[in-house]
Amino acid sequence: MAARTPHGPGAGLPEHAVRTELLSLLATMPTLTATEAARALGRSSGLCSFHLRRLAQHGLIEESPHTGGRVRPWRLRAGVEHGDDSTGASNAGFGELARDLEDESHQHWLAHRAAVPARWRRDEAFSAVVHLTPEELTALGAQVRELLARFRGRDTNVRARPAGTAPVAAVLRLFPLITDVEPSASAPEVDAEEADQPGSSDPSRAHGGARRRP
């Protein structure tokens, strides 16, 4: 997998499904250790530790203050928490990386779906366009998070998982469809009829001069 173009947090970090899972856990927990991640994801603590360190090296997470010892709790780095508009470019970098990792995981699933047991070959993918106010958009997101929270206890408590469970990615993106965009104040106004005329890009017209007729 090719590395990302360097830009902000996560720059140069290759995409990997394990990092998607770790970022998802860190978005819902104040801190996370490699052992806790391994328990939640059903992976080895060594693998989780490696990817946690990689996320830290690329500025997405940081080591949380602790009393020392071998246990190293990690947390999302201040200023890159997903969903906080006040974080500016840093949050944009985190959000872009998270989306890329989600997309990579979905492509991996599609490519290998035939190799998994038949009962796991179906997904629940759907989309819809709904008309909402900004307040309703926020409320809908909160309702979905509340619904998913019913299953969060299984992340860290293996005994709470019914037999036959497996990690399932739940990805929801609520965003307004921009249909009417105001033109930039600095953009030159061009008559639509003139824009379609041959030679409308004549430099003399750009400087206010009239074109000579043959």
Full DSSP string of 4-62: PPP-STTTT----HHHHHHHHHHTTSS-B-HHHHHHHHTS-HHHHHHHHHHHHHTTSEE
pTM of the model: 0.45
Render pLDDT for 176-197 as a digit per residue (tens, 0 to 9).
988 766 655 544 454 444 444 4
Rounded to the nearest 10 degrees, the angle between the axes of helix 45-57 and helix 17-26 is 80
4-14: average pLDDT: 42
The CATH classification number of 17-160 equals 1.10.10.10
